[in-house]
């Protein structure tokens, strides 16, 4: 969790290198790029960077290479600065869309957090008096067991669950937790029928407006597996929104460096072909049953932050590698899609 903890294995049968990182703007992929700049793979990266054709314009190339050379000298602190600022934008962007959905539904809804790992969104929403009628988390059983252990052993985590619970049917065992407002479900996202059965056992209501959130999850599934999950969500709930955060623009040279560094860490992005562009991200959603879809890169999200916030976080984590930061942020995106049979105005949600 934010205070304690490790991270999720993505709920897709992939390697333990994705999920919901609490320390950086793009998870292991962001770290992989920063590692290339910071020297872990510097020899290979220098060779790669010297090979034509470089797809960035010349005006961008020189300062970017200079930034990467400076980062090799500064090492871990520079990588941390990139991660901290990027992660701030990620949390802000996802939270903005979640709260917009909660406002449209007046919290008469449910949230399903896919590949939730050690995410703390439930507790943050409770602190802000924004809890939906039911909040679900889904991850592999081994991750679920780990999170339940944290909850049971830490009163600041267990107490809010008890406070929000009503009735007698509170279930906690080693691989599941079910209260009236919060449930954790162990499941594999590659099998949507099994996922639906498990969620319904924890009182999922398919007729209630539903928000599904996936951060660095779909990219670890094959395109066919993620398509099946998206089709299931679009066909199961009459009023539904999906938020997806993951990589984009992965066919350019910068994206290829990200992929190569991940591969050296035995971490393959099974769904990276869908991450070609913002258009390919939107098209995947529309092709799989969603009525409206949008996608923006994380640099646009960062630019939309209140300027007072930007100055504050850049003051805390001095950002002197702006060219590299911008390139990194342009290789992550937030996509969101909706179906809205009740005409709540979900398609109007935007930044």
Given a cut of 50, whether residue 44 has pLDDT beyond it is no
What digits encode the pLDDT tens for the residues 9-32? 333 333 333 345 333 334 444 444
Share of residues in the chain with pLDDT > 70 (%) = 75
Q: Is 224 a residue whose pLDDT tops 50?
A: yes
**H, E, C per residue of the chain:** CCCCCCCCCCCCCCCCCCCCCCCCCCHHHHHHHHHHHHCCCHHHHHHHHCCCCCCCCHHHHHHHHHHHHHHHHHCHHHHHHHHHHHHHHHHHHHHHHHHHHHHHHCCCCEEEEECCCCCCHHHHHHHCCCCCCEEEEEECHHHHHHHHHHHHHCHHHHHHHHHHCCCCCCEECCCCEECCCEEEEECCCCCHHHHHHHHHHCCCCCCCCEEEEEECCHHHCCHHHHHHHHHHHHHHCCEEEEEEEEECCCCCHHHHHHHHHHHHCCCCCCCHHHHCCHHHHHHHHHHCCCCEEEEEEHHHHHHHCCHHHHHHHHHHCCCCCHHHHHHHHCCEEEEEEEEECCCCCHHHCCC
**C-alpha distance across the termini of the chain, in Å:** 27
Confidence tier at 318 by pLDDT (50, 70, 90) = low
Question: Does pLDDT of 333 surpass 50?
Answer: yes
| pTM given for the model | 0.79
pLDDT for the residue 276: 97
Instruction: Report in angstroms the alpha-carbon separations of 84 from 145, 175, 251, 308.
Output: 28, 32, 25, 17
Quick one: CA dihedral 339, 344, 345, 350, positive or negative?
Answer: negative
Class of residue 163 by CB neighbours under 10 A (exposed 0-12, middle 13-18, buried 19+): exposed
Which pLDDT score, from 0 to 100, does residue 214 have?
A: 98
Among candidate residues 170, 169, 151, the one with its CA nearest the CA of residue 160:
151
Q: How confident is the model at residue 47 (pLDDT cuts 50, 70, 90)?
A: very low
Q: For the segment 76-127, what is each residue's pLDDT rounded down to a tens digit?
A: 455 566 677 899 999 999 999 999 999 999 999 999 999 999 999 999 999 9
Q: How confident is the model at residue 315 (pLDDT cuts 50, 70, 90)?
A: confident
For the segment 301-318, the average pLDDT, to the nearest whole number, is 83
Cβ contact 86:25 at 8 Å? yes
- Of 98-102, 302-306, 334-338, the range with the lowest mean pLDDT is 302-306
pLDDT band of 49, cuts 50, 70, 90: very low
Residue 81 has what pLDDT?
63
How much is the average pLDDT of 168-191? 88
Q: Does position 338 have pLDDT exceeding 50, yes or no?
A: yes
pLDDT of 20: 52
């Amino acid at each position: 969790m934010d205070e304690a903890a490790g991270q999720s294995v993505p709920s897709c049968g992939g390697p333990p290198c994705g999920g919901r990182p609490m320390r950086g703007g793009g998870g292991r992929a962001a770290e992989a790029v920063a590692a290339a700049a910071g020297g872990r793979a510097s020899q290979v990266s220098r060779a790669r960077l010297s090979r034509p054709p470089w797809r960035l314009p010349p005006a961008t190339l020189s300062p970017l290479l200079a930034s990467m050379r400076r980062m090799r000298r500064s090492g871990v602190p520079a990588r941390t600065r990139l991660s901290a600022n990027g992660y701030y934008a990620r949390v802000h962007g996802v939270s903005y869309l979640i709260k917009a959905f909660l406002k449209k539904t007046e919290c008469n809804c449910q949230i399903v957090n896919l590949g939730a790992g050690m995410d703390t969104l439930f507790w943050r929403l409770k602190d802000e008096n924004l809890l939906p009628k039911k909040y679900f988390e889904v991850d592999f059983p081994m991750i679920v067991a780990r999170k339940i252990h944290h909850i049971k052993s830490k009163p600041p985590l267990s107490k809010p669950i008890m406070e929000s619970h009503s009735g007698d049917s509170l279930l906690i065992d080693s691989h599941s937790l079910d209260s009236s407002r919060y449930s954790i479900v162990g499941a594999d996202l590659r099998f949507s029928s099994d996922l639906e059965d498990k969620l319904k056992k924890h009182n999922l209501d398919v007729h209630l407006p539903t928000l599904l959130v996936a951060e660095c999850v779909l990219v670890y599934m094959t395109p066919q597996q993620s398509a099946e999950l998206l089709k299931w969500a679009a066909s199961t709930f009459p009023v539904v929104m999906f938020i997806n955060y993951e990589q984009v623009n992965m066919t350019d040279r910068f994206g290829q460096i990200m992929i190569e560094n991940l591969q050296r860490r035995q971490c393959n992005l099974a769904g990276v072909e869908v991450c070609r562009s913002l258009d390919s991200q939107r098209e995947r959603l529309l092709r799989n049953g969603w009525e409206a879809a949008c996608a923006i890169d994380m640099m646009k999200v960062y630019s939309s932050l209140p300027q007072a916030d930007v100055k504050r976080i850049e003051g805390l984590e001095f950002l002197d590698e702006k060219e590299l930061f911008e390139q990194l942020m342009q290789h992550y995106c937030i996509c969101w899609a909706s179906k809205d049979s009740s005409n709540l105005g979900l398609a109007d949600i935007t930044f």
